[in-house]
């Protein structure tokens, strides 16, 4: 397996989706672990059965789909529930991510892993790209996008790896405090760099 794997991470609302979409526009395969988590809890999946066994049938809606928002709220207030949910999901996300990486034929891919540092998936990636913005800007963008309260935004931020800790793990940092054109310029530069690194890795 010679594909170069870039682990893309950053706090809530830092711009991971915008950055990964831009890499995709350069033709780079993107694997989004949030999407993998969604696939893993579709009706009929073993992880869903385990979640229902652990958290009760109330976590399903009338169509048998997981009430993701409700469960997220619930485990936020309950650290042991949170650990139980992570114990069900994280190993499966890891296995699925490895399988998706193994199928890639491009020189490099971007794996979007919001909790890259927290979940110990660092060993699956060759480089860590952190999208960074100030916490004030993070809160502003999340409030504008999600319509949540400022208290909720602060609570989510508090539960995530601290910004400095994340930056300390970074091989590359995309500073996303400016506009979209600056974001696009930085992705273009990183793309050239990753192609060069991928060709070294493959040789
Ligand atoms: P989450 O952690 O919640 O999944 P995210 O890290 O994927 O968030 P995005 O959804 O990409 O973040 O960005 C958050 C919001 O900020 C979006 O509405 C996005 O359009 C906006 N945004 C991202 N980058 C910029 C930028 N450089 N200038 C202005 N707005 C931006």
pLDDT, tens digit (0-9, with 9 covering 90-100), for 102-144: 999 999 999 999 989 888 899 999 999 999 999 889 888 988 8
Note the pTM of the prediction, 2 decimals.
0.93
13 marked among binding-site residues: yes
Q: How many domains does the chain have?
A: 1
Strands of 108-112's sheet in order across: 30-32, 108-112, 4-9, 127-132, 172-175
Instruction: Determine if residue 165 is labeled as part of a ligand binding site.
Output: no
CATH number of the CATH domain containing 171: 3.40.50.300
Q: Which of 10, 18, 138, 148 to mutate to test the pocket of ligand 1 (most atoms within 8 A of CB)?
A: 18
Give the pLDDT of residue 1. 56
Cβ–ligand 1 distance for 160 under 6 Å, the answer no
Does the annotation place 15 within a ligand binding site? yes
Task: Kindly report the backbone phi and psi dihedral angles of residue 77, in degrees, each rounded to the nearest multiple of 5, phi listed first.
Answer: -90, 5
- Which residues 6+ apart lie within 8 Å of 40 measured at CB? 47, 48, 89, 92, 93, 96
Half-sphere exposure of 49 (CA within 13 A, CB side): 3
Show the domain range for 163. 4-202
User: Do the Cβ atoms of 129 and 8 come closer than 8 Å?
Assistant: yes
**Mean of pLDDT values over 154-178:** 88
List of residues 6+ apart from 15 with CB closer than 8 A? 131, 133, 141, 174, 176, 183
Mean of per-residue pLDDT scores for the chain? 93
* pLDDT surpasses 80 at 156: no
Instruction: Give every CB contact of residue 168 below 8 A, 6+ residues apart in sequence.
Output: none
Ligand 1 centroid–CA 35 distance in Å is: 17
pLDDT at 157 over 80: no
| pLDDT over 90 at 83, yes or no | yes
- Which residues 6+ apart lie within 8 Å of 203 measured at CB? none
């Amino acid at each position: 397996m010679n594909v170069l794997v870039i682990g893309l991470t950053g706090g809530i609302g830092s711009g991971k989706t915008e950055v990964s979409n831009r890499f995709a526009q350069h033709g780079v395969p993107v694997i989004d672990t949030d999407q993998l988590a969604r696939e893993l809890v579709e009706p009929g999946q073993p992880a869903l059965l385990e979640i229902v066994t652990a958290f009760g049938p109330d976590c399903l809606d009338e169509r048998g789909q997981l009430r993701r928002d409700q469960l997220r709220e619930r485990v936020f207030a309950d650290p042991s529930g949170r650990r139980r949910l992570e114990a069900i999901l994280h190993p499966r996300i890891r296995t699925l991510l490895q399988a998706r990486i193994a199928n890639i034929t491009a020189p490099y891919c971007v794996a979007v892993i919001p909790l890259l540092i927290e979940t110990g998936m660092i060993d699956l990636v060759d480089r860590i790209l952190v999208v960074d913005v100030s916490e004030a800007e993070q809160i502003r963008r999340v409030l504008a996008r999600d319509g949540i309260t400022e208290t909720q935004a602060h609570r989510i931020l508090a539960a995530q790896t601290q910004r400095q800790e994340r930056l300390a793990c970074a091989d590359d940092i995309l500073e996303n405090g400016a506009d979209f054109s600056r974001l696009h310029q930085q992705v273009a530069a990183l793309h050239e760099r990753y192609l060069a690194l991928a060709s070294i890795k493959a040789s």
